[in-house]
Amino acid sequence: MAPASFWNSSKTVCVMDASGRLGSALVHRLLRRGYTVHAAVHSHEEMHRYKRQSMEKKELRVFHSDPLDYHSILDALRGCCALFYSFELPSDHSTYDEFMGELEVRAAHNVLEACAQTDTIEKVVFTSSATAVVWREHDDSRTSDVDERNWSDVNFCNKFKLWHGLSKTIAEKTAWALAMDREVNMVSINAGLLMYPDLSIKDPYLLGAAEMFKDGVLVTVDLDFLVDAHICVFEDISSYGRYLCFNGIINCNDDVVKLAKMLLPSSPSQDMFDDDSVHQQRISNMKLRKLMVDFESRLQMTSD
């Protein structure tokens, strides 16, 4: 476990892409924890927003950084001890398709290569998805839970056009291969469906949601918990490998109704769903839960 002084150090970290829900929340939480933050964004609109904030906070610096532009990544990483990386869909490409994986893989390769070439980088926290874990051929004899040791089957994803799972799986595998080859200290967060007020039925994570529900692996995560998990795996020097990150599971009719009410303009009634069974949870985040015990205790102490 890292010493207490580490948690309020003046070290500099980079958040990329800092314009998304997760990235923006990470920037603000890291600033509150005493870090100097390089906010890397590829949207000019977000650049202006962060520049206004940086005028008031000397610990915040903003960089225009495109994950497909290797040199712009190097600029944002200069002087940083860590990178929090998440891939955001380009503004001109609002959903996943069979070509998105190529973009996401190129971005992951560029980012890890840039980290390997930055002498000050001590750790990379790579945001992936639970969809890079849960997709595989069904086997009725299978009784073991799914956890971070599992990988989605790319052939299965391709066959059933599960583009989000396919992209996340290939990109994360690319990042891990490069991290091991270049000896970059990396951990990944495989997040469940991020819950937020304007969540849409068009969210690419939800492709195949009915199958995930029946398999007991449709998991969700709140933004605060996701941010805590990222900071925890960064600050704890014992963290390693992959971490499945979720704090909710949708495995019964009531859960489906609640989710449907968020996603659909007209609220569905309970009668619309004829599946009254509760599907056994078949996915585990025990590895992350164990790591976060002390972290959550510290948070509780600081809030008292």
Residue 10: exposed, middle, or buried by beta-carbon count in 10 A (0-12, 13-18, 19+)? exposed
The answer, yes or no, to whether the previous bond of 17 is cis (omega within 30 of 0) is yes
Q: Which of 58, 159, 161, 168 is catalytic?
A: 168
206 vs 210: CA distance, rounded Å: 8
Question: Which of 21, 38, 200 is closest to 118 using CA atoms?
Answer: 38
Q: Does the annotation count 168 as an active-site position?
A: yes
CA dihedral 37, 41, 44, 49 (to 10 degrees): -40
- For Cα atoms 53, 59, 65, give the angle at the middle one, nearest 5 degrees: 70
108 vs 102: CA distance, rounded Å: 10
Beta strands in the chain (DSSP E): 12-16, 36-41, 60-64, 82-85, 123-129, 186-191, 193-195, 219-222, 241-245, 248-249
205 vs 218: CA distance, rounded Å: 10
CA 289 to chain centre: 16
* Residue 254: both structure tokens together: 């009531």
CA 167 to chain centre: 13
Residues annotated as catalytic (active site), given as ranges: 168
